């Protein structure tokens, strides 16, 4: 225990946080604040519910979130925040100054996914937008709409409780989390130079755990992600005359299978790492051998060395399957990628007792990091020590029914992903408000 406590305190001092504030934490205070937030939420929830359902029914893709950003900007201006729009193209920054004290950043994402929603909910999305040159259905199947509603809800509660804290709130609405690039775009557009540099950052993500639960961990919280796109080149021919072709579909198929030998034979099996293909596009008819095939996929890891090994193995495998086919060298591109989110030990140690006091056994210390990825890591790399936690989204009764059948409820990025709005948003508001009060409280 001691060996943990000392670095935590040193880190807290380094981050400019007075460890004395720690001693103020009394479970009774947290319970009182939570009761106050709950009373506020009883009044505010119908508005948050309407906002959530409106955003859910009108999702927007990466860097196209103009209506979404405008809705949030309006909400925050009405609360008294000073709002700057178009930061990092479609992002927003909302500042609320309440006396001397550190700046705390609270981040939500704005974007949705290029996929069709199949929840059958009355407020389900029927939206379409352009995606990679073609119209695509759009859905909030990652739950960023839950985060937005909780973000507005936390801002409301913090403003209502402003006599209990001092400092500056910096609420940011980030574009393009799914496409990766929104956090970088905001930072490049002066997020930490045109606005106060936050001493602490918080964010949360809903997932297929029972609503009402919070999960957190110090250190690595989510994986690094690298998207790849490979264009295999061949020579087109009539399907009946394969001898005249160089078949790029064969190259794509071999690559898809052989990539798994990089994962299973080159990487340490004890180290987390995923490499897989999610999209293959080639050809137009069964009797035409096309002249190219495009393969897209993702690489996930926690460790930078594993990340480098998987990327190198992927490139080698792509080149080798092309050579086997006597095809030209394929074109391999990686996207900008996202690094692993690493939670700050001191902030985690400072916030965990608040979550425990507020949520009891529903506040869970996660045994290991998740395999999803987040470009929230960019803010941490830019020098904002942070805590990013998980928020349960599934109605506890529904969750129990799935488990009783030995199944998992539909998760993020599935067409059936359908968080239960009320318990998820309320818990998100409570957790975020309490976390901020704990670091800015008087």
Q: Which is nearer to Zn ion, 142 or 155 (CB)?
A: 142
Question: Mask of contacts with Zn ion, 73-102, x by CB under 5 A?
Answer: ------------------------------
First to last CA, the chain: 28
The structure tokens listed for 274 are 């995923």
User: What residues have CB less than 8 Å from 29, skipping those under 6 apart?
Assistant: none
142 binds Zn ion (CB under 5 A): yes
Q: Which is nearer to Zn ion, 289 or 338 (CB)?
A: 338
Stretch that binds Zn ion, among 136-144, 224-232, 376-384, 394-402 (CB under 5 A): 136-144
**H or E segment at 301?**
strand 292-301
- Let me know: does 70 contact 58? Beta carbons within 8 Å: no
- How far apart, in whole angstroms, are the C-alpha atoms of residue 100 and residue 389? 27
Count of all residues that appear for the chain in the document: 442
Stretch that binds Zn ion, among 96-104, 142-150, 225-233, 246-254 (CB under 5 A): 142-150
For the residues of 196-256, what is the DSSP string, one character each? Answer: PPPSEEEEEEEEEEETT-EEE-SEEEEBEEEEEEEEEE-B-EETT-GGG-B-HHHHHHHHH
Chain mean position to CA 358: 24
314 binds Zn ion (CB under 5 A): no
Closest contact distance (angstroms) between CB of 52 and Zn ion is 15
Closest contact distance (angstroms) between CB of 109 and Zn ion is 6
Closest contact distance (angstroms) between CB of 373 and Zn ion is 9
Stretch that binds Zn ion, among 46-54, 137-145, 350-358, 399-407 (CB under 5 A): 137-145
Closest contact distance (angstroms) between CB of 341 and Zn ion is 12
Stretch that binds Zn ion, among 117-125, 126-134, 140-148, 291-299 (CB under 5 A): 140-148
Query: In 3-state terms, what secondary structure has residue 113?
Result: strand
In the complex, residue closest to Zn ion by CB: 142
Closest contact distance (angstroms) between CB of 205 and Zn ion is 6
Closest contact distance (angstroms) between CB of 201 and Zn ion is 16
Closest contact distance (angstroms) between CB of 412 and Zn ion is 5
Q: Which is nearer to Zn ion, 114 or 153 (CB)?
A: 114
Closest contact distance (angstroms) between CB of 215 and Zn ion is 15
Q: Which is nearer to Zn ion, 146 or 439 (CB)?
A: 146
Which residue matches tokens 């925040």?
81
What is the torsional sign of CA 129, 135, 137, 140?
negative
Q: Which is nearer to Zn ion, 81 or 216 (CB)?
A: 216
For the residues of 304-332, what is the DSSP string, one character each? Answer: HHHHHHHHHHHHHHHHHHHHHTTPPPPEE
Stretch that binds Zn ion, among 23-31, 134-142, 318-326, 419-427 (CB under 5 A): 134-142
Q: Which is nearer to Zn ion, 107 or 267 (CB)?
A: 107
Closest contact distance (angstroms) between CB of 178 and Zn ion is 5
Number of residues that bind Zn ion (CB under 5 A): 1
Q: Which is nearer to Zn ion, 109 or 251 (CB)?
A: 109
Q: Which is nearer to Zn ion, 150 or 158 (CB)?
A: 150
Q: Give burial (CB, 10 Å; 0-12/13-18/19+) of 234.
A: buried
Chain mean position to CA 2: 33
> If we measure between CA atoms, which residue out of 407, 426, 60, 49 comes closest to residue 208?
407
Q: 345-359 vs 27-57: helix axis angle to the nearest 10?
A: 90
Q: Which is nearer to Zn ion, 92 or 180 (CB)?
A: 180
> Which stretches of the chain bind Zn ion, using CB under 5 A?
142
């Amino acid at each position: 225990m001691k060996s943990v406590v000392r670095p935590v305190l040193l880190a807290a001092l380094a981050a400019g946080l007075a460890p004395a504030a720690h001693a103020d934490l009394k479970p009774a205070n947290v319970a009182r604040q939570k009761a106050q937030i709950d009373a506020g939420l009883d009044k505010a929830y119908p508005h948050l519910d309407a906002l959530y359902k409106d955003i859910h029914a009108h999702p927007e893709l990466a860097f196209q979130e103009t209506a979404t950003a405008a809705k949030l900007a309006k909400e925050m201006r009405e609360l008294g925040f000073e709002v700057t729009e178009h930061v990092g193209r479609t992002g927003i920054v909302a500042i609320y100054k309440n006396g001397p004290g550190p700046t705390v950043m609270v981040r939500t994402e704005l974007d949705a996914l290029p996929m069709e929603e199949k929840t059958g909910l009355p407020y389900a999305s029927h939206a379409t937008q352009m995606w990679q040159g073609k119209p695509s259905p759009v859905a909030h199947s990652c739950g960023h709409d839950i985060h937005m509603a909780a973000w507005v809800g936390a801002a409301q509660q913090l403003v209502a409780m402003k006599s209990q804290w001092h400092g500056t709130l910096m609420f940011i609405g980030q574009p393009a989390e799914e496409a990766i690039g929104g956090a970088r775009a905001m930072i490049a557009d002066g997020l930490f130079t045109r606005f106060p540099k936050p001493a602490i950052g918080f964010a949360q993500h809903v997932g297929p755990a029972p609503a009402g639960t919070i999960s957190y961990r110090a250190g690595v919280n989510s994986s690094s992600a690298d998207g790849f796109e490979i264009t295999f080149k061949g020579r087109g021919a009539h399907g009946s005359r394969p001898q005249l072709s160089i078949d790029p579909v064969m190259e794509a198929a071999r690559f898809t299978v052989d990539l798994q030998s990089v994962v299973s034979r080159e990487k340490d099996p004890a180290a987390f790492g995923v490499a897989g293909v999610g999209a293959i596009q080639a050809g137009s008819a069964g009797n035409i051998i096309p002249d190219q095939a495009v393969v897209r996929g993702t690489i996930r890891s926690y460790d930078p060395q594993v990340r480098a090994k998987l990327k190198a193995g992927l490139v080698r495998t792509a080149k080798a399957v092309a050579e086997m086919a006597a095809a030209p060298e394929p074109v391999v591109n990686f996207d900008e990628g996202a690094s692993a989110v690493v939670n700050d030990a001191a902030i985690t140690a400072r916030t965990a007792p608040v979550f425990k006091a507020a949520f009891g056994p529903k506040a869970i210390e996660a045994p290991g990091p998740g395999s999803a990825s987040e470009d929230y890591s960019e803010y941490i790399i830019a020098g904002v020590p942070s805590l990013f936690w998980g928020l349960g989204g599934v109605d506890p009764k529904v969750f129990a029914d799935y488990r009783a059948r030995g199944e998992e409820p539909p998760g993020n990025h599935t067409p059936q992903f359908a968080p239960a709005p009320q318990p998820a948003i309320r818990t998100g508001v409570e957790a975020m408000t309490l976390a901020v009060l704990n670091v800015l409280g008087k």
